[in-house]
Chains A and B, each alone.
Chain A
Amino acid sequence: MRFPSVVAGLTLVVGLPMTQPLAAQGGPIVGTVTNRATGEPIPSAVITVAGTRLRVTTDLGGRFRLADVPGTTAVLQVRTIGYRPAEDTVNVGDTSIRITLEQRALDLSQVVVTGLPEQAERRQVGNAVSLIDAASITQTTPINDVQSLLNGRAAGVLIQPATGAVGSGSRIRIRGASSFSLQSQPLVYVDGVRVDADPASGPTNQDFGSSSISRFNDFNPDQIESIEIVKGPAAATLYGTEASNGVIQIITKHGDTGPARWNFTLRQGVDYFANPEGRFPTNYQVDTAGNLLSINLRDLEAQVGDIFRNGHISDYQASVSGGSNTVKYFVAGGTELQGGAEPSNDLRHSNGRANVTVTPSDKVTISANMGYVSGPTDLSCEAGCGGRMFTTVFMNPLNLGTFRKGFHSGLPVAYDEEYHFSQSLDRFTGSVQLQHRPVKWFTHRITFGVDRTRELNQLYQPLIDSLQIFFGSDALGYIARTNRAVDNTTVDYAATAAFDLSPTLKSNSSAGLQFYHALIDTAFADGQFFPAPGLSSIDATTGPRSNAGGLEETKSIGAYGQEQIAWRDRVFVTAGLRSDNQSTFGRNFTSVYYPKASVSWVMSDESFWTWSFVNQLRLRAAYGESGRAPTYNAAVRTYAPATGPGDVTAVTPQNIGNPNLGPERGKEIELGFDVGLWDDRLGLEFTYYRKRTTDEILQRNVAPSIGFSGQQFFNAGAVLNQGIELLAHGRPYSHGPVSVDLTFNLATNSNKIESLLPGLNSVSPGTFLLHKVGYPVGSWFAKRVVSAQLDPTGKAINVLCDDGKGGGVACSSAPVVYLGRTIPNVEGALSPSVTLWNRLRVEGLFDFKTGYKKLDGNTRVRCTIFARCIENFRPLEGNPITVAEIQTGGIPDFYINDASFLKLRQVSASYTLPDEWVQKVGASHAIVSVAGRNLLTWTRYPGLEPEAMFLGGTRGGNFSAWEQADLPQLEQWIFTVNVSY
């Protein structure tokens, strides 16, 4: 409702008068300034004619026009922030000048806003801030969602995709795992407003409580200007409680002074399950005569044809931006269609954005940012739910020749007909910011924003009598609908007073107040059994019905003060303090305080600096604290409403509570340097971090004998995370029409639990998982067979398990031993790109993760539950240790495997069309590109895919890396045309 009126209003804005063109009284020079690497236009570049006072600024399309230039030739000098200056001699009268600028490998003058009371240059900030130039990336590379934008582009930001289904999300972790029981997701802000970024929402189509739709991916990458990431307490102190996992700030595009610039993007593509025949295992069974039978994917395909389809991708986006000195605007909208590899999986989202900045005077700036997304996502039954993956991966040779045609349970098409998981989405995210500068030395701003999400999550199972043969009573009909409303409200006030203490000493004093309110309102209703085909409403069901609802409200308030002293604009010392209170704290717990301090020293600005090849060097150090609040209602002992005998009102114990519960406290020190070498052709950013989280919020199961189910939260223990982050960007070769760029990032993470409760050495957060002192958080622990023999019948004998001391012991009395981490300890990415003739750019992205293990649930179920492995029938052909682990009741070591991998995540080729071509259609700039994703994987992981896993629920949760009938990441090819007018 709100959005159309906004669009209408902004349509008027588009027509507002723009900056008047320069009066032309002499020889003109007209041209465009573009990025040498990407070919995209550079706005706000300043062009000066050497030896004259002539000077203009490029518009949004990178265009400039100089009039009245004397002489026949002129030397143009071009400068802008973030690029190395350029100089070019041109002919007066030339109206198609093209000047390319090289981006600096290190730019300390970049402005950042995240984690600060007001925007500041990077040189002033004592902590690392990762910046992703989303606008440039999406110009040449098709990016499906925000998580793909982050993946491999920021050191220390770990993206763990879980399923290849379109619309699904990823886990995001920054600098390892520091919470035992709370989600490890960072806070996400969009234009200063805290937003819902739940990575696993929607219907539980993976079963075991696991959903797979990501709220983080609601934000359209085409509308994002940049993403800033601050990674831990040292940088996120001013965000207070909740921020110790870091903060991701999405900054959407804004208009700039100049005439309206229209941009249209068209994408067409395909995604598919690559090489299924080579990835699905062969399954075995014996018939009644004892003959060993086998079956593989080709046998199934011979029965039903292709099991997975090629999904179609199409994406249409349009935007217009521009403005005057008073009003600037960016308006965008589009529609996105993605089909998955399973016929029942697709996404159809429409989106819109309108951002307006009004500057009525030089003292006041008002900006309004509004984004809207709407549309359905249809999901397949997957993982624990069943579905194509499930019925295929557990195929059974005994079912060949039956109505199951070799599949384990239902036929693939039957699953599509019977199980319809879907989510309808309406989401509005908007903010208004008023910035006021009443006097020169004082600035304050207030931001008010809301993020309102409305989901209708549904599982619909029609009455299809003929499918009872596969699905039993499921095929008699069922409908479940959950309306979920999530409202986040942010109010953020900040004020800064700046004054000079002396000619060399400047002070910036800031204070702020933040209020955050979250409301989650859920209403669920379901009904079983439809009396006739075609019915789909709950009212039409004839069987049991149920309903439930819930309202969860949390509030937090924080206040902070910060003082920064700058000495000669090269040494910046900052100190601050934040105080928080939150409704989820226990009643015996009061406010919490978080301090911060940092130093940034641009050493290369010092007069003693004589090493010219190091043209920029900055040293930085930061210390800060922040926290993580308990979850909603974790502190309170509660009852839940229930129904008693005779359907009278009753209550049942729900939550045991803990009145002493307080927030986790993260304390982090960060040391690093940024260096620009050889005239900023090579830039390095290095950071060492050491984060200690104390008062960990730990969730332990309650002993059911004390009358409560579930878990209790309490504060206990400490976790240490430390590691390094390295970002290197350089241009190793640039000569004539060819330039080569390389970007490499690497992050390591060492994670160790230092303590739990006194006398408590370990706590289990899930199956085969332990939080154990001295080991990484949420590690795999289980028994492990170290030696075994097989007797002539194939029975495992002389089986010994790891005794934890380097020896062997009978498995019945063996302890569980450490098998490995669940979270990678090293990850990184390499992105090479080659630019030819400033027009053709070929780019790749390799990313890798290593040092962790994943549970291959497909092998677990095949070998230890359904008995479909060769070892179940021909043990003498198998590894005696694996056979022993299978026969000893399923000791899991053989299916918890190293999941390290290297992926060719992306390859793209983009071509900037010649100006004369695009001008024929009245355009000013056009790029065509073709890109592929998830093209190659190098791994020793024996399962279907090293990345596939449950995203949430009891088999996903915070730590478990558990794959079971999850769809692997899909291979994808997309062709894109981007045209600007």
Chain B
Amino acid sequence: MKHSTILVLGLLSLAGCSLFDNALEVQNPSNVPADVLEVPANAQLLVNGAIADFECAAGSYAVMGGLITDELLDATQTADRFPYDRRTMASSDLRYAVNSCIGLGVYTPLQTARFSALNVLFLLQGWTDAQVPSRDTLIATLQAYEGYSLVLLGEGFCTMVISTLDANRQTVYGGEIQRDSVFKLAVATFSDAITSATATGQTSVLNMALVGRARAYVGLGQFAAAKADGQLVAPAFAKFVTASAINGRRNNRVWQENSATSTNTSLGSPYINMTDPRVPFMFRRPDSVSVTGVPLYEQLKYQSASSPIRLASRDEARLIIAEADLAAADFAGADSIISNFRARGGDTAITSVDSATVAAALYDQRRREFFLEGQHLGDAIRFNAPLNPPAGTPYPGGLVYGTQLCLPLPDVEKQNNPNF
């Protein structure tokens, strides 16, 4: 009895846990293991996810770009939002670097969007048409969205890292590259999208990619190529970043930050002095100021959480053509296009042949036309526009305005990327 009991106990101990492996099965429905999900049957789901990642990132980029430039003023008392509005961002700042798109992160959300598109693209390329209906269409779509992620990363950041996948879908870390290199990658990606969309007759994706490639060419200073793409964009084309009131991640981020129900931001001085239907706004009420003393103005362009934000359009293509004409000293061509846009705001036509004057007029039309659409940060950098308010002006939240426009490559990348 004694020895047999001890023997049983000893065997139980030695058996350890292997007897109970099945007892360790757990359910975690909120987290789906990737190897379960990344199958052909889920292709559309994965593509939806990649687009959703981009749309959320783009909304956040529109707000952050608006804060860095003069479109938006921060009206909160949250100190870690101040560096953007104050133009004193540092690579150690966390909000732009690691926050989710809901929390106004831009670097991580845009990189996630880019990499999601790339990852699903690789998966699609490894599957067959029989496994995935409309596989080529999905591929073209993903290439276009990946291109836009690259464009925004190129426009908004001082330098960039683009990591990729090798043939075995293993991560290949990128090194630090300049903005031009990012735009070149965008051009290449859009070119793939144009090829794919042309082959499958996807005109919407084709136009989206054409505008995107034109925008990337502008970033590269290759205006002739930009103009060529711009001229191919179909009339009345417009592609939007969609939004929804159903889910917080899909809310229009600009509306979330400035609307009848949000005083997180106010509008910058150039806009509150405009009488342009493209820049609709209102002053909230007499004497309504933020805790830091910022007068509170409300944008009226996006009036609900589900208002879409324009991503690409024929209008953008026309203004790109105007910019190309300006670069080629075709002032008449540029003036003609700019004047058409000035008419939308009730302004008279422009007939200048002075490069600076035309550039200023073009810059002005772009900021009106693309008000709070995520274009202005790239414009401010590219046009080398005067800083507003000027550097050294006391900042309402404390300290003074700086000169930083492009977002520095964040520490979170440099400290965790083996190429640094």
Alpha-carbon distance A184/B24, docked complex (angstroms): 25
Quick one: CB contact mask for A637-649 with B, threshold 8 Å, 1 for yes?
A: 1111111111111
What would be 11 A-B contacts, judged by CB atoms less than 8 Å apart? A439-B1, A495-B5, A552-B30, A555-B23, A581-B24, A637-B33, A651-B48, A701-B416, A703-B413, A707-B119, A865-B82
Quick one: CB contact mask for B134-177 with A, threshold 8 Å, 1 for yes?
A: 00000000000000000000000000011100000001011000
The stretch among A469-477, A620-628, A929-937 that forms the contact with chain B is A469-477
In the complex, are the beta carbons of A591 and B18 less than 8 A apart?
Answer: yes
- Whether, in the assembled complex, B39 has its beta carbon less than 8 Å from a beta carbon of chain A, the answer is no
Alpha-carbon distance A708/B49, docked complex (angstroms): 13
The listed residue (A652, A657, A708) touching B52 by CB distance below 8 A is A652
The stretch among A134-142, A370-378, A556-564 that forms the contact with chain B is A556-564
In the complex, are the beta carbons of A546 and B48 less than 8 A apart?
Answer: no
- Of all chain A residues, which has the CB nearest B250? A643
In the complex, are the beta carbons of B34 and A644 less than 8 A apart?
Answer: no
14 additional A-B residue pairs with CB within 8 Å, beyond A653-B115, A704-B410? A473-B261, A473-B264, A543-B261, A544-B248, A558-B17, A559-B12, A560-B13, A637-B33, A639-B34, A639-B37, A701-B98, A705-B161, A705-B163, A707-B112
With contact pairs A472-B290, A645-B55, A708-B112 given, residues A650 and B48 touching in the complex (Cβ less than 8 Å): yes
In the complex, are the beta carbons of B24 and A583 less than 8 A apart?
Answer: yes
- Whether, in the assembled complex, A511 has its beta carbon less than 8 Å from a beta carbon of chain B, the answer is yes
Alpha-carbon distance A559/B17, docked complex (angstroms): 7
Quick one: CB contact mask for B35-46 with A, threshold 8 Å, 1 for yes?
A: 101000000011
The listed residue (B48, B118, B413) touching A645 by CB distance below 8 A is B48
- Of all chain A residues, which has the CB nearest B413? A703
- Whether, in the assembled complex, A633 has its beta carbon less than 8 Å from a beta carbon of chain B, the answer is yes
Q: Which residues of B contact A84 (CB under 8 A)?
A: none
Shortest distance between the CB of B92 and any CB in chain A (Å): 8
The listed residue (A638, A643, A861) touching B34 by CB distance below 8 A is A638
With contact pairs A579-B17, A705-B111, A707-B116 given, residues A643 and B29 touching in the complex (Cβ less than 8 Å): no
- Whether, in the assembled complex, A577 has its beta carbon less than 8 Å from a beta carbon of chain B, the answer is yes
For the complex of A and B, 7 pairs with smallest distance between CB atoms: A707-B115, A644-B48, A472-B263, A579-B16, A581-B17, A561-B13, A511-B9
Which residues of A33-60 are within 8 A (CB) of B? none
In the complex, are the beta carbons of A701 and B412 less than 8 A apart?
Answer: yes
In the complex, are the beta carbons of A557 and B24 less than 8 A apart?
Answer: yes
- Whether, in the assembled complex, A143 has its beta carbon less than 8 Å from a beta carbon of chain B, the answer is no
Q: Which residues of A contact B131 (CB under 8 A)?
A: none
Which residues of B245-294 are within 8 A (CB) of A? 245-251, 256, 261-264, 288, 290-291
Shortest distance between the CB of A852 and any CB in chain B (Å): 23
- Whether, in the assembled complex, A922 has its beta carbon less than 8 Å from a beta carbon of chain B, the answer is no
Q: Which residues of A contact B51 (CB under 8 A)?
A: 644-645, 650
With contact pairs A580-B17, A636-B33 given, residues A703 and B161 touching in the complex (Cβ less than 8 Å): yes
In the complex, are the beta carbons of A549 and B30 less than 8 A apart?
Answer: yes
Alpha-carbon distance A648/B52, docked complex (angstroms): 10
In the complex, are the beta carbons of B33 and A638 less than 8 A apart?
Answer: yes
- Whether, in the assembled complex, B84 has its beta carbon less than 8 Å from a beta carbon of chain A, the answer is no
Most A CB atoms within 10 A — which of B20, B24, B90?
B24
Chain A: residues with CB nearer than 8 A to chain B? 386, 404, 408-409, 439, 441-442, 468-470, 472-473, 476, 495, 497, 499, 509-513, 515, 528-529, 543-544, 546, 549-561, 577, 579-583, 591, 593, 632-633, 636-655, 657, 700-709, 764, 767, 861, 864-867, 889, 954
- Whether, in the assembled complex, B244 has its beta carbon less than 8 Å from a beta carbon of chain A, the answer is yes
In the complex, are the beta carbons of A499 and B2 less than 8 A apart?
Answer: yes
In the complex, are the beta carbons of A546 and B248 less than 8 A apart?
Answer: yes
Shortest distance between the CB of B161 and any CB in chain A (Å): 4
Shortest distance between the CB of A953 and any CB in chain B (Å): 12
Q: Which residues of A contact B246 (CB under 8 A)?
A: 643, 647
Q: Which residues of B contact A767 (CB under 8 A)?
A: 92, 94
Alpha-carbon distance A767/B264, docked complex (angstroms): 25
Q: Which residues of A contact B162 (CB under 8 A)?
A: 705
With contact pairs A643-B247, A701-B412, A705-B161 given, residues A652 and B20 touching in the complex (Cβ less than 8 Å): no
- Of all chain B residues, which has the CB nearest A546? B248
In the complex, are the beta carbons of B21 and A581 less than 8 A apart?
Answer: yes
Alpha-carbon distance A583/B173, docked complex (angstroms): 31
Shortest distance between the CB of A382 and any CB in chain B (Å): 15
In the complex, are the beta carbons of B416 and A511 less than 8 A apart?
Answer: no
Q: Which residues of A contact B171 (CB under 8 A)?
A: 706
Most B CB atoms within 10 A — which of A441, A653, A767, A864?
A653
- Whether, in the assembled complex, B397 has its beta carbon less than 8 Å from a beta carbon of chain A, the answer is yes
Alpha-carbon distance A734/B59, docked complex (angstroms): 76
Q: Which residues of B contact A543 (CB under 8 A)?
A: 261, 305
Q: Which residues of A contact B18 (CB under 8 A)?
A: 581, 591
Alpha-carbon distance A611/B29, docked complex (angstroms): 67
- Whether, in the assembled complex, B114 has its beta carbon less than 8 Å from a beta carbon of chain A, the answer is yes
- Whether, in the assembled complex, B407 has its beta carbon less than 8 Å from a beta carbon of chain A, the answer is no
Alpha-carbon distance A889/B261, docked complex (angstroms): 34
In the complex, are the beta carbons of B23 and A472 less than 8 A apart?
Answer: no
Shortest distance between the CB of A396 and any CB in chain B (Å): 10
Alpha-carbon distance A528/B262, docked complex (angstroms): 11
Chain B: residues with CB nearer than 8 A to chain A? 1-2, 5-6, 9-10, 12-18, 20-21, 23-35, 37, 45-46, 48-49, 51-53, 55, 75, 77, 79, 82, 88, 90, 92, 94, 97-98, 100, 107-109, 111-112, 114-116, 118-119, 161-163, 171, 173-174, 242, 244-251, 256, 261-264, 288, 290-291, 296, 305, 397-399, 410, 412-413, 415-417
Q: Which residues of A contact B264 (CB under 8 A)?
A: 472-473
Q: Which residues of B contact A473 (CB under 8 A)?
A: 261-264
In the complex, are the beta carbons of B108 and A704 less than 8 A apart?
Answer: yes
Q: Which residues of B contact A472 (CB under 8 A)?
A: 75, 262-264, 290, 296
Q: Which residues of B contact A550 (CB under 8 A)?
A: 30
Shortest distance between the CB of B306 and any CB in chain A (Å): 9
Q: Which residues of B contact A580 (CB under 8 A)?
A: 16-17
Q: Which residues of A contact B107 (CB under 8 A)?
A: 704
Most B CB atoms within 10 A — which of A441, A649, A652, A653?
A652
In the complex, are the beta carbons of B28 and A553 less than 8 A apart?
Answer: yes
Alpha-carbon distance A703/B45, docked complex (angstroms): 25
In the complex, are the beta carbons of A559 and B13 less than 8 A apart?
Answer: yes
Shortest distance between the CB of A914 and any CB in chain B (Å): 56
In the complex, are the beta carbons of B98 and A509 less than 8 A apart?
Answer: no
Q: Which residues of B contact A643 (CB under 8 A)?
A: 52, 244, 246-247, 249-250
- Of all chain B residues, which has the CB nearest A644? B48
Alpha-carbon distance A767/B415, docked complex (angstroms): 13
The listed residue (A640, A645, A703, A866) touching B398 by CB distance below 8 A is A866
Q: Which residues of B contact A560 (CB under 8 A)?
A: 13
Alpha-carbon distance A510/B13, docked complex (angstroms): 10
In the complex, are the beta carbons of B112 and A652 less than 8 A apart?
Answer: yes
In the complex, are the beta carbons of B250 and A703 less than 8 A apart?
Answer: no
- Of all chain B residues, which has the CB nearest A579? B16
The listed residue (B15, B174, B291) touching A409 by CB distance below 8 A is B291
Alpha-carbon distance A866/B395, docked complex (angstroms): 10
Alpha-carbon distance A509/B79, docked complex (angstroms): 62
In the complex, are the beta carbons of A703 and B173 less than 8 A apart?
Answer: yes
Q: Which residues of A contact B2 (CB under 8 A)?
A: 441-442, 497, 499
Alpha-carbon distance A702/B171, docked complex (angstroms): 12
Shortest distance between the CB of A238 and any CB in chain B (Å): 11
Shortest distance between the CB of A917 and any CB in chain B (Å): 57
Alpha-carbon distance A497/B98, docked complex (angstroms): 57
With contact pairs A558-B17, A583-B26, A709-B108 given, residues A703 and B34 touching in the complex (Cβ less than 8 Å): no
In the complex, are the beta carbons of B415 and A509 less than 8 A apart?
Answer: no
In the complex, are the beta carbons of A591 and B118 less than 8 A apart?
Answer: no
Alpha-carbon distance A36/B6, docked complex (angstroms): 47
Q: Which residues of A contact B29 (CB under 8 A)?
A: 551
Alpha-carbon distance A50/B43, docked complex (angstroms): 91
Q: Which residues of A contact B417 (CB under 8 A)?
A: 703, 705
Shortest distance between the CB of A760 and any CB in chain B (Å): 10
Q: Which residues of A contact B13 (CB under 8 A)?
A: 511-512, 559-561, 577, 579
Alpha-carbon distance A748/B189, docked complex (angstroms): 60
Shortest distance between the CB of B4 and any CB in chain A (Å): 11
